[in-house]
Structure formats: C-alpha cells, structure tokens
Structure 1
Amino acid sequence: MKRKPRGRTYGYDTLKLLVQVWNLAGRPSGKYLAATMSIWLPKLEQHHELDGKRLTEHTRAQLLTVSGATIDRLLKPTRDGAQLVGLSGTKPGPLLRNLIQVRKAGDEHEKAPGFVEADLVLHCGPTLQGEFVHTLTVTDVFTGWTENMALKNGAHRWVIEAMTQIEARLPFPLVGLDTDNGGEFINHALIKWAGDRNLFFTRSRPYKSNDNAHVEQKNGDVVRRHAFHYRYNTTVELQLLNELYLLVRVRLNMFTATTKAVDWRSHKHGKKTRVYDKPRTPYQRVLKSGVLSAEKVAELDTVFEATNPAELTRQITAIQTRVITLATDKTRAITAAVSRAKTNEAGNQLSRAS
C-alpha cells in the first residue's frame, strides 16, 4: 500500500514571515537565526515591522521553535548566488618579525575580553595596482565583538589612527593584539603604539590563516557580505563605508549570534573535532563576562532597547545601494581592462614561443 505523504508542518504564512525576518536580520545561516529568533521576533513585533495578518499565535510559536536545519531548508530557494572573489595583498614585514611572539591556532583560548585579532581587507577589485580603500577588521577572541573601519590605504599611519578609534569604541579595555605578518602591522610605529599601551602583541605564522581564524572569518562574514568585492578609491566611497560600518557594528554585536570553540573531542576512530558552545550574540557574551562597569552595561542596554533592527537593516541597505551605484561601472571597466591585458600577454607569449 502506497504511503500517504506527510503534510507540511510550516505553512505559507510562517514561511513568508521567516523570509522577512531572515532578510531584516542580514541573512544569517539557519543555525544563527534560530539562536537569535527570540531577540529578533519581539523586536520586530515591538516596532510593527512584521505582517500583522500573518503573525498569529500559531506562526509566532513556529518561528520561535523552528530549528536551524529547517530554516536552511525552507530558505534555500531564496538564497543569494555566488559573489565576486577578492584578492589578497598581504606583504610580509620580515625585519621585525623576530621581535614579536608567534601565536598559533590551538594556543590556549583567552578567558576574558580584551585580546583581539586584527586584519586588513583590500577593496581593490580585480587589480592591486594603484591606491584603494582598505578595511581594518578587529575581533575580540573571547566574545566575538567586532569593529570595522575603512582606511584611505594600508599605510601604518591610517592603521594606527583606526586602531586608536576602535580601542575607544570597544566596551572593554584592550589588553592584547594579534595580527598577521603584513608590513602594515609588523612595523616600528604599531609596535610602539602597542608598547605605549602595554599591550600583549603577537603575530601568526606566515601562510597559516587558521592562526587568525576569528578575524579571517569576519573578513568574509562581515566585510565582504556588507561591502562586497568592488573597487573603492574615492573619498565619498571611504566615507560611505565608514557610515555603513557604524550601522553594521550595532546589528552585528547586538543582534547576530556567533559560536565559540571551547574544546576538542575524539571520535571512536580517534579523529579530533572541535566542540562549540551555544550560539550567542557578542552583546550577550560581553554582559556575561562580568568585566563591564555598571555605566558601560547601562550604555549598551540603552543602545539595545532603543534600536529598531529593521530600520537598521534598511539604513544598511540604503548605503549599500549607493556604494554599488558608485563602484559597479568602475569595477567592471577595470575588470575588462585586466582581462584584455592578460589576453594580450598570453598572445605575446605564444608569438614569442613560435
């Protein structure tokens, strides 16, 4: 006897509401959306951002209990396609590397906020030639709290200026800094800056990106997701990116969940795998750490209570639209020119070989 198909658990109204929440939340994975649904849904209801006709006790209950795997399955048809691929422009700073302690993937995890990893993302488009905007990403290893700032270029003067501003933004004291081996970080000026603040300064091993896994992940999840892979090289684009990052920092740190590797475990065949804690927002992790003053806790709570995350997403989207409008044609023209140059060079090599 043929088995009767099981009916749908999640109806059309629940799906439409889920897509709406997912878009307003910045399109996170199902695992992280499920972990923050109890934050997003009450906030969106409070600010009347959801379709009132679809939001019933039944659909509300379904949204609050849907699993991450089911969210990914339901949202699969609506996900974005692939994006452009960026370039890496890290150049080593070998002369000072021996002065800075090496920090490796798997080293003991930090037990309190304040030790951060830093990296630069290049907004060069298809070529590293010329001057273009860089984004400095700074991520706290313990809480996942992340700050971004766009720089005119990769000169160490801009890196130090941005690090100073980011230090002031962090809700906790900065105690340590870990970077890759790029010359924008491994230089006398930044070493002095860290020394003046009595910061513990470490570096990763060359060509070992896992040593900076926390910030490397944010380069893709935060910078590329929000600023894309276009070429930015004007003052207007620089200003827009910094306006964008001020909005992103609130949504990311207050409303976006992350997981943290806390241990290892072995399978029955002896293979080791990471063990992660439950997804929580950096805001929740910072509060739980107990290192904040009462004034700082009140300040963060005020920001959280006053923020309409849906309006935040609309503002982010508006700036992204302006940035795309400014950079798309320029990036396409440069891409075409680079492609022609490569084709001509290949043709010249064939001619010389023959």
Structure 2
Amino acid sequence: MTLSAKREYVIQMRTIYKNANGKKEKSRILEQVSQTLACHRKHAIRVIRKPPAEVICRLRDPIYPNRLIRILEEVWIAAQRPWSVRLKAALPLWLPHIKQKWPLSSEEERLLLNMSAATMDRRLGPYKTRLKRKVYGKTRPGRWLRQAIPIQTESWNVPEPGWLESDTVSHSGPNAFGTFAYSFNQVDLFSGWVESLAILGKSAVNIVLGAEIMRQAMPFKQKGVDTDNGDEFINHPMKRYCETNDIQRFRSRPNKKDDQAHIEQKNSTHVRQLIGWDRYDTEEAVAAMNDLYRNEWRLLTNIFLPSVKLANKIRIGSRIKRVYGEAQTPLDRLRDSGLGDREKIAALYEQRKTMNPFELSEIVEAKLIRIWKLSTRVRPSREVPAARIKPNWTLEIGDYPPYCVPRVSQDVAKMRSGHRKERMLGTL
C-alpha cells in the first residue's frame, strides 16, 4: 500500500471510528486498522484519534516577473534550447546582447543572473516539448582492417585537445534506398569543440575529404580519432589518411553506442534537433546544409554556447555518481587550458567580440527554412533511375569548403516538394 493510499484509508477509518457505537465496535475497528497498516495497536489508536492536520497555504508574490521569464524564453530559444545549467552559464556571455535587445533595469539584471538552474527548468517547463521520432538509415560493419584498429571504451578523461570521436548521421527520411545526404560530425573530447560537414553518400572518398576539411578548421592539432565499425571508416583510404597525418585510430565495440557517448549526444543536439528527419538527396540540399554547418552554426555552438564536461566518477555501492565541471564554451575551455593553436584561438576570441549571438540565431533560422524546402517529400520507389546511378566522384568548390558529391540526374531533383511544417524542439 502506497503512502497516499494509507492516508486515504486512515481518513476514512477515522470517520467510521468517530461514528461507531460502543467499545466493542471501536475495538474491532482498531484491530482492523492495526492489521491493515501492519502496526502496533497503540500506534493505530494514536493515528485514529489524532485530529487531521490543517494545511496552511503560504502564498507569496512571484520573485521573477513575467517579462523576465519571456526574455529568458527568447534567450533559451536563440541558444538552441540548452540544458538549464548550460543556459545559466551562457547568460553572462549573452548579457550585453540581451540588454541591447531588451532594456533591463539593474534589478532585472540582478534577478536574471541570480536565477538558479532549477528555477529556469521550472519556469521554462510550459515551453518545452519533447518529440520522439524514429531515425532511419543503417551502418554497415566494415570487414577490412577492423582487427588492426584497437578498441577504445573509456575516453572521457582526456588531458589535451586533439582526441576526437567521429560519426555520420543519415538523412534518408522514411526510406534508406538510393543515395542520400549524411552529416559527418566530429567532437573533441577535451574541449567539446564540434565540427560538422554534409556529404552526399558516405563513400571513403567523401569521408577522407570531409575529415581533411574539418582538420584544417580546428583550432588544435588532431592527434587521434575514435569511430564506430562502419565501412565508411574502416577502409584503406582512411587508413592511409591517418598514417599520412600521424593520427592514431581507435574504434568502439560492435553494437555498443555507449562507447561513443560524446558523438552520439552531438548527433542529437547538433543534427537531429536542428535539421530533423526528412530526406535530402540533392547537391543543392547538401550545399545549403554546408552553408549552415561551416558558418553560423559552427560559430554559435563553439564560441557562444557553453557545455559541461565530466570531471569525475564516484562509485557509491553499485551506482556511479558523475560530477561535472563548470559550464564553459569550447573556445573558453581551449583558451583557459593554454593548449591548441594560439593564433586561431585568439582570432576566434576577437571575432566573438564583434558578433551578436541573436543575429547568428536569426540567420540559422532563416537558413533552416531554406534547407527544409529542399527536402525530398516523395517516397522514392525502386523504379527511380537515379537510385541505380554509379557515382562519379568530382571535387566541387563553392563558397564553402570543398567536398565530394556524386553527379545525380535531374529525376532526383524533381522529387523535391513540400516544406517541413514542424520544428524539432530539444531539452539538453
């Protein structure tokens, strides 16, 4: 019997005991209560005879006005709906831009900065929506060279930048048939720095070129990479690329996503909650995604949005307690460590002084609308000629860094129709 059920039972029996006639009937009621609650008779007497406690409701005026909560909601949305601990750490960095957008008094500024993470969670509760969608697409295990790559299972306690986890996210929509886009993601385990690139088909050539583009853009030297067992990573071109650039290779255990918990989290927060689950299978869509990934999204997530890092693990009996460090942006974590490419870090720090995160967020929203319009809404059939095309890989150079795409016929481009009508909302 639950505690609430016991309370309801005692209230009911108290009324029956009060209206009972004679000692024998009252004694019988006490015996029944004692047996039901599995307690001593004396305790049953005290419970039955005790008058019901008066509930005193202490109402107070709200500390945080509705205007401040609406401002907090707008900041939360512009910051891509982060976890409350990360949102609280981002407020001092965003405060000058918040004051430009909404005039704040000194008292409102004090209240906003002093608001606890738990209060933010509670007050933002009505605005949070959780959507569950099924992810499509498959990772085929790589058969070649797998035994030559060591397995890495513990990778959270890294003392220096340059040790990465890599993965791909499919944009196949409801059908993983034919050629479609992938988001190629890499995350630095030390700083939390994330790089993303869209590719059309996850061939070895695409993966190698994408890895080189992201390596050149990172503000630190790449020392190692941890991947899954997919054939897009376990192949000879990737082996030669890592040997040429002195990059150590590791892999996770088959069918164990927990071995790559860091990149799996970024796949959700940086791809699924941003792009969604629609199908993208054209060069134009991949170019639009790269225009977002390699510009505004990269700057917003790495220099304006704080992230938390696991600091310690404490075993308490059969359970493990995880202790997290102070929330910082990946750029601040690199600068405070004194490691990495100091010239690139200093240039990014000066660039942050001239940028407005709200303007970046608005540009991200505008580019997302364009990307969603390029999604393929028609379910591809097996009669589509483009699905049987053998890719002819060429290097395309545009306004964004080069990447490798196959030449797809116009039949695939004609399948694009409709517009994404819903936006994925996330809780970090």
Asked whether the two chains share a fold, i.e. TM above 0.5, the reply is yes
Match of 2:194 in 1: 146
Given that 1:123 and 1:231 are in contact with CA atoms closer than 8 Å, whether structure 2 keeps it comes out as: yes
Please give the alpha-carbon distance, in whole angstroms, between the structure 2 residues aligned to 1:10 and 1:4. Answer: 17
Match of 1:308 in 2: 356
User: Of the candidates 19, 37, 41, which is equivalent to residue 73 of structure 2?
Assistant: 19
Q: For residues 53-91 of structure 1, what are the alpha-carbon distances to aligned partners after superposition, in whole Å with 9 as ceiling and x for unaligned?
A: xx2112111111111111111111112341532124110
Please give the alpha-carbon distance, in whole angstroms, between the structure 2 residues aligned to 1:211 and 1:75. Answer: 32
Aligned to 1:147, the other structure's residue is in SS state strand
Mapping of 1:113-262 within 5 angstroms? 113-246=161-294, 247-262=296-311
Given that 2:166 and 2:226 are in contact with CA atoms closer than 8 Å, whether structure 1 keeps it comes out as: yes
Aligned to 2:288, the other structure's residue is in SS state helix
User: Of the candidates 85, 102, 109, which is equivalent to residue 51 of structure 1?
Assistant: 102
Please give the alpha-carbon distance, in whole angstroms, between the structure 1 residues aligned to 2:155 and 2:72. Answer: 39
Match of 1:5 in 2: 59
Q: For residues 246-277 of structure 1, what are the alpha-carbon distances to aligned partners after superposition, in whole Å with 9 as ceiling and x for unaligned?
A: 2111110111111112221123x442222221
Point out where structure 2 has 5 or more consecutive residues left out of the alignment: 1-53, 383-428
Please tell me the residue identity of whatever aligns with 2:379: I
Please give the alpha-carbon distance, in whole angstroms, between the structure 2 residues aligned to 1:293 and 1:186. Answer: 29
Please give the alpha-carbon distance, in whole angstroms, between the structure 2 residues aligned to 1:78 and 1:214. Answer: 27
User: Of the candidates 103, 115, 125, which is equivalent to residue 66 of structure 1?
Assistant: 115
Given that 2:181 and 2:286 are in contact with CA atoms closer than 8 Å, whether structure 1 keeps it comes out as: yes
Match of 2:379 in 1: 334
- 1:199 deviation in Å? 0.8
Please give the alpha-carbon distance, in whole angstroms, between the structure 1 residues aligned to 2:341 and 2:182. Answer: 33
Normalising by structure 1, we get a TM-score of 0.88
Are 1:297 and 2:345 matched, yes or no? yes
Match of 2:420 in 1: none
Distance 1:273 1:81, change over 3 A: closer
Please give the alpha-carbon distance, in whole angstroms, between the structure 1 residues aligned to 2:122 and 2:299. Answer: 28
Please give the alpha-carbon distance, in whole angstroms, between the structure 2 residues aligned to 1:3 and 1:166. Answer: 58
Please tell me the residue identity of whatever aligns with 2:76: W
Please tell me the residue identity of whatever aligns with 1:173: K
Normalising by structure 2, we get a TM-score of 0.73
Aligned to 2:226, the other structure's residue is in SS state strand
Match of 1:100 in 2: 149
Aligned to 1:257, the other structure's residue is in SS state coil
Q: What percent identity do the matched residue pairs reach?
A: 31
User: Of the candidates 24, 37, 46, which is equivalent to residue 91 of structure 2?
Assistant: 37
User: Of the candidates 135, 140, 148, which is equivalent to residue 86 of structure 1?
Assistant: 135
Q: Which has more radius of gyration? A: 2
Given that 2:221 and 2:341 are in contact with CA atoms closer than 8 Å, whether structure 1 keeps it comes out as: no
Given that 1:120 and 1:135 are in contact with CA atoms closer than 8 Å, whether structure 2 keeps it comes out as: yes
- 1:20 deviation in Å? 1.6
Distance 1:103 1:303, change over 3 A: same
Point out where structure 1 has 5 or more consecutive residues left out of the alignment: 339-354
Are 1:75 and 2:129 matched, yes or no? no
Given that 2:172 and 2:279 are in contact with CA atoms closer than 8 Å, whether structure 1 keeps it comes out as: yes
Please state which structure has a larger fraction of its residues in helix.
1
Please give the alpha-carbon distance, in whole angstroms, between the structure 2 residues aligned to 1:182 and 1:150. Answer: 17
Q: For residues 159-198 of structure 1, what are the alpha-carbon distances to aligned partners after superposition, in whole Å with 9 as ceiling and x for unaligned?
A: 1101000000000011111100000000010011000111
RMSD between superposed Cα atoms in Å: 1.8
Q: For residues 21-72 of structure 1, what are the alpha-carbon distances to aligned partners after superposition, in whole Å with 9 as ceiling and x for unaligned?
A: 1122122121210111111122333xx2x222xx211211111111111111
Please tell me the residue identity of whatever aligns with 1:273: K
Please tell me the residue identity of whatever aligns with 1:20: E
